[in-house]
Amino acid sequence: MNNESGAGSRQNRLVCKSCTSWSITGCLQSNSDFKDHQAKHLVRPSDALCEAARFSEPNLSVRMSETTAAVLRPLLKSLPSRVLEYNRIYNIVVKTMEAEAPGLIDVPEQHELVGAVGDHLNFRLKKASDEGNLSFQAKCKELGVPVNWLRSSGNARWHVNWRGFGSPAQDLPVTDSALAMAYDLKLPPYFEDEDFVHLARIIAYAARVCCRSAADGGGSPRVSPQHQQEEVGQEREGGGGEGTQPQ
C-alpha cells in the first residue's frame, strides 16, 4: 500500500495505531508529528528523503486504502466504548498532573456542550520563563515523554509553518503568545493505568524543576539524573492517591 504522492495520511496513521499494526500502510511522513513514526512503516522512502521532504512537501493525502477501510469497519462498532475508556484515561492523567504540579500546569476545561474524546492531552505551562520552557521540553524528552511543543518549527498548529505552502505571512502576537507555552501529547490506547500515572508524574516533575524555580527568580535548577530518577520512582511506588482517580 505505497502512497504514490509521497505524503502520509493522518487518517491511515491513526487507524494503524488504534489496531497496533503499522504494516498495513507505507508512506512518507512529512511533518514533526509523524517524524518519529516513519521508521515504523515497512514500505516507505529512505530516511534521507523523508527528512529532506519533511518541511517542503505538504501532507495532503486523505485517501484510505481498502485494507485500512476493512480494519476500520469493526472498530466503528466499538467507538462509543473506546471514547469512554479514552476519557477515563484522560482524567487519570489530568488529575495526576494537577495534584503533583499545582499552579504550574493549565489544562483547558471542555465546554459542557462539547462531547470530548481524550485521546490527546493539551496543556500549557503557567509559570515558565523562556529558558524554563526549553528546559521543560528537554527534561520530558530525557525522561521518556517527548511532548509536542505547539510552536516548534515543524508543528502544523503554528501559522508560521504554513507560509511555505502558500499561506500569507501574518502578524498574530496573541496566537503566538498562546502557543508559546502550549503542548500536545498523544495518549496511547495500549498503555496500562500505571503507565499513564507515571507519564503524568514525569510531566509534573519536569514542570516543578524547570518552571517553579524560574518563576521564583532562581532560574532553572540543575538536577542530577540519579536524583530525578529516584524522585519519579518514589512517586510511582507511592501509589496513585487522588491523582489516579478518574472522574
* Concatenated DSSP letters of the chain: -B-TTS---HHHHHHHHHTT--TT-B----SHHHHTTGGG-SS---HHHHHHHTTTS--------HHHHHHHHHHHHTHHHHHHHHHHHHHHHHHHHHHHSTTTEE-PPPPTT----TTEEEEEESS--HHHHHHHHHHHHHTT---EETTSTT-TTSGGGGGGGTPPP---HHHHHHHHTEEEEE--TT--HHHHHHHHHHHHHHHIIIIIHHHTTS-PPP--HHHHHHHHHHHHHT--GGGG---
Same domain, 16 and 92: no
What domain range is 209 assigned to?
A: 79-244
β-bridge mates for residue 121, sequence order: 185
Given a cut of 90, whether residue 140 has pLDDT beyond it is: yes
Q: 164 and 68, same structural domain?
A: no
Last residue of a domain, one of 77, 109, 125: 77
Q: Is the pLDDT at 26 greater than 50, yes or no?
A: no
Number of domains in the chain: 2
70 vs 9 pLDDT, higher one: 70
Please give the model's pTM, rounded to 2 decimal places. 0.65
Q: Residue 2 — φ and ψ, nearest 5°?
A: -80, 135
pLDDT tens track for 72-114: 898 889 999 999 999 999 999 999 999 999 999 999 988 888 8
The answer to whether residues 115 and 223 belong to one domain is yes
Is residue 92 a part of any domain in this protein?
yes
Task: Answer for the pair 101, 124: CB distance below 8 angstroms, yes or no.
Answer: no
Confidence of residue 242 (pLDDT cuts 50, 70, 90): very low
Report if residue 2 sits inside a domain: no
Q: Which of 77, 102, 126 is the last residue of a domain?
A: 77
Locate 237 and state its grid cell.
Answer: 511506588
Query: What's the grid cell of residue 58?
Result: 505538504
pLDDT at position 183 is 96
Domain co-membership, 124 together with 73 = no
As a whole number, mean pLDDT of residues 8-34 equals: 34
| Last-in-domain residue among 46, 77, 108 | 77
- The reply to whether 182 falls in a domain is yes
